[in-house]
């Protein structure tokens, strides 16, 4: 079945540590996105990519980094510069960028130890 | 500020009743989408309505769009306990650079058996 796989489901970060969240899709979608969701809140865009080797900052990119070396993969690194990383992180993909329905993974919940 | 805002924030109904959720937005849009999120899971796309459409149906879902009032509503008819979830509207704003998809904060729907 085609879909988006996020791993791990739960992740714990120590002080000063960088952690990387994985996102893989086999839907052959061009565009991929990372969102952050805080409890009881909507989604805020961190980064997005509409083509391999290219990505743009979203609304809350500070303290995060991404890469898009393959069409199928869009990993997100939460760096030590992100002082409040505890949240639910969602990856999504879509056909031809904006104006298309987005397909979501099941998220990674990140907590601080 | 958030492009889409849902109302009410929470809604509790009995099985078999209809549920109506509203979404208001601030700027002109290309389309508006509704998504559903079960607790601890990713979002699932429900329906997309374009700015030149006024109403759209999909099974037990009915979405309306009033661009003059910058508002949309999602009606779920004959609700079931399995409809319990958070529902989000997302807008693709014409005036925003890159036509970002902006999510509201959601309506938490509880359907009691």
Q: So what's the pLDDT on residue A2?
A: 73
Mean pLDDT across chain B: 90
Tokens of A76: 């997100």
DSSP, collapsed to helix, strand or coil, labels residue B81 as: helix
Checking if the pLDDT of B4 tops 80, the result is: no
pLDDT single digits (tens) A60-97: 999 999 999 999 999 999 999 888 999 999 999 998 75
Best to test chain B binding among A31, A32, A42, A100 (most B CBs inside 10 Å): A42
Backbone angles phi, psi at B52, to 5 degrees: -95, 10
Q: Calculate how close chain A gets to B43, using CA atoms only, in Å.
A: 6
**Mutation site for B-interface testing, chosen from A39, A98, A105 by largest number of B Cβ within 10 Å:** A98
A44, A99, A101 member nearest B30 (Cβ): A99
Q: Do A42 and B104 touch (CB under 8 A)?
A: yes
Q: Is the pLDDT of residue B97 over 70?
A: no
Q: What is the pLDDT of residue B28?
A: 86
**B101 versus B98: which is more confidently predicted?**
B101
Six token digits for residue B9: 């924030």
d(CA A22, nearest CA chain B) in Å: 15
Kindly identify which residue of chain B lies nearest to residue A101, measuring between CA atoms: B45
Asked if the Cβ–Cβ distance from B48 to A40 is below 8 Å, we say no
Give the model's confidence band at B1: pLDDT under 50 very low, under 70 low, under 90 confident, else very high: very low
Q: Could you tell me if A110 and A9 are in contact, meaning their C-beta atoms sit under 8 angstroms apart? A: no
Residue B13 in contact with partner chain A when CB distance is under 8 A:
no
CA B60, B65, B69, B70 torsion: positive or negative? positive
Q: Which residues contact A6 (CB under 8 A, 6 or more apart)?
A: A21, A22, A23, A89, A90, A91, A105, A106, A107, A108, B42
Please check whether residue A74 is in contact with residue A6, taking contact to mean a CB–CB distance below 8 angstroms: no
Q: What is the pLDDT of residue B93?
A: 72
Q: Is 60 exceeded by the pLDDT of residue B96?
A: no
Partners of B109 in the beta sheet?
B11, B85
Q: What is the pLDDT of residues B23-72, one digit of tens each?
A: 999 888 889 999 999 999 999 999 999 999 999 999 999 999 999 999 99
Distance CA A81, CA A94 (A): 29
pLDDT at position A108 over 50 = yes
């Amino acid at each position: 079945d085609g879909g988006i796989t996020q791993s791990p489901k739960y992740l714990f970060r120590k002080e000063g540590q960088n952690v990387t969240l994985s996102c893989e899709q086999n839907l052959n979608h061009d565009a991929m996105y990372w969102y952050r969701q805080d409890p009881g809140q909507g989604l805020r865009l961190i980064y997005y990519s509409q083509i391999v080797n290219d990505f743009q900052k979203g609304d809350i990119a500070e303290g995060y980094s991404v890469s898009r070396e393959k069409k199928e993969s869009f990993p997100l690194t939460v760096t030590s510069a992100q002082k409040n990383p505890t949240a639910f992180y969602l990856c999504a993909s879509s056909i031809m960028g904006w104006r298309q329905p987005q397909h979501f993974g099941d998220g990674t919940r990140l907590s601080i130890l | 500020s958030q492009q889409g805002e849902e109302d009410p924030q929470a809604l509790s109904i009995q099985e078999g009743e209809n549920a109506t959720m509203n979404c208001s937005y601030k700027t002109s849009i290309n389309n508006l989408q509704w998504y559903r999120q079960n607790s601890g899971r990713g979002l699932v796309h429900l329906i997309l309505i374009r700015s030149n459409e006024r109403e759209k149906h999909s099974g037990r879902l009915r979405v309306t769009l009033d661009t003059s009032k910058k508002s949309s509503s999602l009606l779920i008819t004959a609700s079931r306990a399995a409809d319990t979830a958070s529902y989000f509207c997302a807008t693709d704003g014409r005036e925003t650079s890159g036509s970002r998809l902006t999510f509201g904060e959601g309506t938490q729907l509880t359907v009691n058996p």
